[in-house]
Structure 1
Amino acid sequence: MSATGAGPHAGGAPLVTADVDRSDPAYRGWLKEAVRAVRADANRSADTHLLRFPLPAHWGVDLYLKDESTHPTGSLKHRLARSLFLHGLCNGWVRPGRPVIEASSGSTAVSEAYFAQLIDVPFIAVMPRATSREKTRLIEFHGGRCHFVDDAHSMYRVAAELAVHTGGHYMDQFAYAERATDWRGNNNIAESVYEQLRRERHPEPAWIVATAGTGGTSATIARYIRYMGHDTLVCVADPENSCFFEGWTRDDPHATCGHRSRIEGIGRPRMEPSFLPQVVDRMMRVPDAASVAAVRALERRIGRRAGGSTGTGLWSALKIVAEMVARGRAGSVVTLICDPGERYLDTYYSDAWLAEQGLDIAPYAAAIDSLLATGVWPEG
């Protein structure tokens, strides 16, 4: 049986031809053990922490960060990779000895390489050549192989072609992220947030702020909110060089962007199948310099380094906090620490890189400092 992706926007099942007898006891035994191993990873991994970002108590607003960097593979994508592997295994797409291929800018590939190694199948990551060196090192550390492309738009096609060539399975996170995760609960990220807030002074958040790469996280959170009858609203923060904001504001499922996002892990050149605009209550376009200023402010305030996508979400969360303070509305806001900053020491934490990119973070850093000092978001 060979499996390939059904096309970048098809969202259908991969194409398959039989060369494995699914009733073969050897295959069934392998499958049972593979599923057990992936589920066991979730069972022995403690839930991630919900950290408080320090704000003046008299504001009446609490800001929390769900620290997904503490997963075994160091990022939010660990949850997604686990769900994708269970989805692929239980659908009969991931098979013994056959490679799993993914199109990824880094963190998903790191996590998928980990799970591929866990069940002893090869893994190939198709990724832009500009992906951070630390991410490629981690993929290789977990036994994966990196296949670089010069044009990020070609990742989908190249990954699908590799699946045909190798007889492997194109995991296609961008098509399957929103459906592979159990959004009704089962300790997904949304259920975890609400359980951890249960004893806080504002246990039902006014807003949860997410960022979008596949769109799977925002879809999971928004669906869970509706399913449980919560009043929480969902904001998606989008970086420069991403089409999600334009697609959402114009209700255009065919929106595209011609440039690659500088904020690794989020922002896409096309509207991905797993991004569900209709469940998003608000979107914010965040300048890349603001994202970097926010992660540096995070380090100063709580002593934790995080990746650029965390800064994108934090910038938007702080703006929402300022709006709530201005309106005299008490409540809580939640955003995410998506991955650790140690993966980006030569980019977001490098002044030389900022100069090379023409990014001036000073005005955005000053805006954050002003807000935290006065409770008022500066004009302009």
Structure 2
Amino acid sequence: MRGREWVDEAVRVIEAENNRSADTHLHRLPLPGHWGVQLYLKDESTHRTGSLKHRLARSLFLYGLVNGWITESTPIVEASSGSTAVSEAYYAQLLGLDFTAVMARGTSAEKIALIERFGGRCLLVKDASEVYARAEAVAADSGGHYMDQFTYAERATDWRGNNNIAESLLGQLAREPHPVPEWIVAGAGTGGTSATIGRYLRYHRLPTRLAVADPEGSAFAPAWDAWRSGKGAAAAAAATGRASRIEGIGRPRMEPSFIPSVIDEMRTVPDGASVAAMNHLARFAHLEAGPSTGTNLWLAWQLAAEMVATGRTGSIVTLLCDGAERYRGTHRDPAWLAGQGIDPAPYDGMIDRFLESGRWNLTPLGA
């Protein structure tokens, strides 16, 4: 089977895989009833490849297939911090294609093992800023296709609907007390998820606002600030940062798929707070998640506190991006955290105190 016939079959295989998959769960966290505020977690860890990036990988493969970039003999190459590469390795294996992930050396061993389990090969580079050029070079040398998630994430996903993440979570809210949420909270790695959600809300004329939580040092929050202050697209595009210590979100540079104009609110979350919120979720709701989920939750809790303080009722939805098992040797390991200079201790207890008092104290313990 070759040419268009192979592409037709590849699209069918991916669509059939999606058709066999149930939707991801929407968990409701137990908040005090008199607040009139509900907080939900869209659990993307229940995908076959264990993360939010399963949706992106499916979209990127379909995009490459229908554009004629991927054929029956095309090696697939990606620059990734881990989860996208895990999901792309799965789809490459599904189609019988070779897959190489170019990643920073600090990527968790658990994610590397998952990529290899799905038949992928991992090429580790010392500096995270090298992954783009190295991936492009590997694709060129092998005659392969560089998936380039950071460019194509925002255009490969259908933001109008087609069971994208926004349509999915809003459908699941239909019988809840506040079916149209006040806020949807997401992180940004490529920017594709926030672009899809923001565009969907505007296309369907929904009053829901989109908030993006950014880890410390990332270029995205300064880019959004530049756009919001009227400095223009060029100033936003010139924003720079450093490599994120929260895997999967935050970038040292502005990415083409990050669209600041669809975001209503953006705040920087300290890395220690991300880990503290991740740990709190495990104790509070018995949901084991990774650190990017903690980043999302820290902002979601702040927004809930602001709603309580102003007497506003409604719902907030955020994303459980992946499970904790991928971070046993990193963000779940106190020794690793200490080596990275990430200290969750000052932020421990802040969410519990909010749940008890209804007031958010922005001052970490010991500060």
Tell me whether 1:324 sits opposite 2:300 in the alignment.
Answer: no
The aligned counterpart of 1:359 is 342
Tell me whether 1:300 sits opposite 2:283 in the alignment.
Answer: yes
Of 322, 338, 342, the match for 1:339: 322
Aligned length: 355
- Opposite residue 197 of structure 2, the aligned amino acid is I
- Opposite residue 166 of structure 1, the aligned amino acid is S
SS of equivalent residue, structure 1 residue 109 = helix
The aligned counterpart of 2:58 is 82
| Counterpart Cα distance in 1 of 2:44 and 2:243 | 24
The aligned counterpart of 2:232 is none
Question: In angstroms, what is the RMSD of aligned CA positions?
Answer: 0.9
| Counterpart Cα distance in 2 of 1:337 and 1:26 | 39
Deviation at 1:379, TM superposition (A): 4.2
The aligned counterpart of 2:237 is 253
| Counterpart Cα distance in 2 of 1:282 and 1:264 | 22
The aligned counterpart of 2:231 is none
Structure 2 residue runs of 5 or longer lacking an equivalent are 228-235
Identical residues among aligned pairs (%):
63
Deviation at 1:32, TM superposition (A): 1.0
Deviation at 1:346, TM superposition (A): 1.5
Alpha carbons 2:93, 2:119 under 8 Å: kept? yes
Of 323, 329, 333, the match for 1:350: 333
Matches within 5 A, 1:232-247: 232-247=208-223
Of 170, 177, 197, the match for 1:194: 170
TM-score w.r.t. length of structure 1: 0.92
| Counterpart Cα distance in 2 of 1:41 and 1:221 | 23
- Which contiguous aligned blocks of 4+ residues in structure 1 show a shift greater than 3 angstroms? none
The aligned counterpart of 2:145 is 169
Deviation at 1:96, TM superposition (A): 1.2
Deviation at 1:354, TM superposition (A): 2.1
Deviation at 1:223, TM superposition (A): 0.6
SS of equivalent residue, structure 2 residue 348 = helix
Deviations 1:304-329 (A, max 9, x none): 11111000000000000000000000
The aligned counterpart of 1:16 is none
| Counterpart Cα distance in 2 of 1:284 and 1:379 | 13
Deviation at 1:98, TM superposition (A): 1.8
The aligned counterpart of 1:368 is 351
SS of equivalent residue, structure 2 residue 267 = strand
Matches within 5 A, 1:22-33: 26-33=2-9
* Mean CA deviation greater in 161-170 or 243-252: 243-252
Tell me whether 1:64 sits opposite 2:16 in the alignment.
Answer: no
| Counterpart Cα distance in 1 of 2:108 and 2:183 | 31
| Counterpart Cα distance in 2 of 1:332 and 1:39 | 32
Structure 1 residue runs of 5 or longer lacking an equivalent are 1-24
Deviation at 1:241, TM superposition (A): 2.4
| Counterpart Cα distance in 2 of 1:379 and 1:217 | 28
SS of equivalent residue, structure 2 residue 2 = helix
The aligned counterpart of 2:266 is 283
Deviation at 1:51, TM superposition (A): 0.3
The aligned counterpart of 2:230 is none
Deviation at 1:147, TM superposition (A): 0.8
TM-score w.r.t. length of structure 2: 0.95
Deviation at 1:293, TM superposition (A): 0.2
| Counterpart Cα distance in 2 of 1:61 and 1:345 | 33
- Opposite residue 347 of structure 1, the aligned amino acid is T
| Counterpart Cα distance in 2 of 1:275 and 1:102 | 18
| Counterpart Cα distance in 2 of 1:107 and 1:231 | 31
The aligned counterpart of 1:98 is 74
| Counterpart Cα distance in 2 of 1:179 and 1:324 | 33
| Counterpart Cα distance in 2 of 1:118 and 1:291 | 34
The aligned counterpart of 1:212 is 188
SS of equivalent residue, structure 1 residue 250 = helix
Deviations 1:236-261 (A, max 9, x none): 0000121000111122211111x311
| Counterpart Cα distance in 2 of 1:178 and 1:359 | 31
SS of equivalent residue, structure 1 residue 234 = strand
| Counterpart Cα distance in 2 of 1:332 and 1:194 | 11
